[in-house]
Structure 1
Amino acid sequence: MMQTRYALDLDVVSVILQQAIDHASAQGWAVSIAVVDEGGGLLAFARMDGASLLSAELAQGKARTAAIGKRDSKAFETMVQEGRLSLLSVQGLTCLEGGLPLRYEGQCLGAIGVSGVASHQDILIAKAGAAVID
């Protein structure tokens, strides 16, 4: 049986990234934003003026975690907080809030990850970007 698979294209990824940047800018937040494909491969990235160098790595890690885990990166943070410390040994997993899968027609197409402000603010920026395909 054949199945239709959707994929993020550059036009959509560019709009997702810009929506997230616009939301962060409106709040006065300097963050890094990463958009990845379903396998965690980087499609687009922006580090806003004033965002820390560490935020660049964290944003990409959060996005990759959300994409390959097919769930918010916050879910992994919660599992660690509840004692599932073995997750910390998984290479490349970033167990922090701020990564959000990008879904369309029930499929995970990739993810967006944001870092640079408090995690509960990072996720608001990610949601603004993800709203493009919701």
Structure 2
Amino acid sequence: MSQTQVRRRAALSNELAQKIVDAAKEAATGLGIPSSVAVVDESGHLNAFGRMDGAGLLTVEIAQDKAYTAAGFGLPTDQWHDFIKDDAPLAAGAPTGIRRLIVFGGGLPITVDGEIVGGVGVSGGHWSDDVKIAKAAVAAFEAAVAA
């Protein structure tokens, strides 16, 4: 089999994915926002998850969908609104037609050397707070990879 027929992908280890979840939970605790945190692999499959005490039931699914959206498109979820708002067909069809698409903040892609290796999604507060928590999680990932 030639190299052109098989593509190798970088992947997050379970240990590193759990560190990302832990970093997000620590950031959420610092903000006083009980949250759910999901980390998915490059294919959108759940790798690690944590739900803090007091996080709402719906945060479980929303966090996973934010991570899925971020990994699936390589775009932070908070950029989707601006991406689709001036395109009537896309604005009408994307949120209802693309399963699991989230168009508000809290989901970030996780990349290594420009390659998507996963996504993190946070849900628990206002989406702007979820973004702050997700950024703290990605920063912890970047520090771990750099070490």
Q: Do the aligned partners of 1:102 and 1:130 also contact (CA within 8 Å) in 2?
A: yes
State the distance in 2 between where 1:133 and 1:20 align: 10
TM-score normalised by the chain length of structure 2: 0.84
What value does the CA root-mean-square deviation take over the aligned residues?
A: 1.6
How many residue pairs match? The answer is 134
Determine if the alignment matches structure 1 residue 65 to structure 2 residue 73: no
State the distance in 1 between where 2:47 and 2:105 align: 20
Determine if the alignment matches structure 1 residue 16 to structure 2 residue 20: yes
Mark the runs of 5 or more structure 1 residues left unpaired by the alignment: none
Where does 1:1-134 land on structure 2 (aligned, <5 Å)?
A: 1=3, 5-82=9-86, 83=88, 84-88=91-95, 89-134=97-142
Mark the runs of 5 or more structure 2 residues left unpaired by the alignment: 143-147
Q: Secondary structure at the match of 1:100?
A: strand
TM-score normalised by the chain length of structure 1: 0.92
Residue aligning to 2:145 = none
Amino acid in structure 2 at the alignment position of 1:130: V
State the distance in 2 between where 1:133 and 1:28 align: 22
Q: Do the aligned partners of 1:104 and 1:133 also contact (CA within 8 Å) in 2?
A: no
1:41-96 CA distance string (max 9 Å, x none) = 00111111111101111111111000001110112232343342221211221222
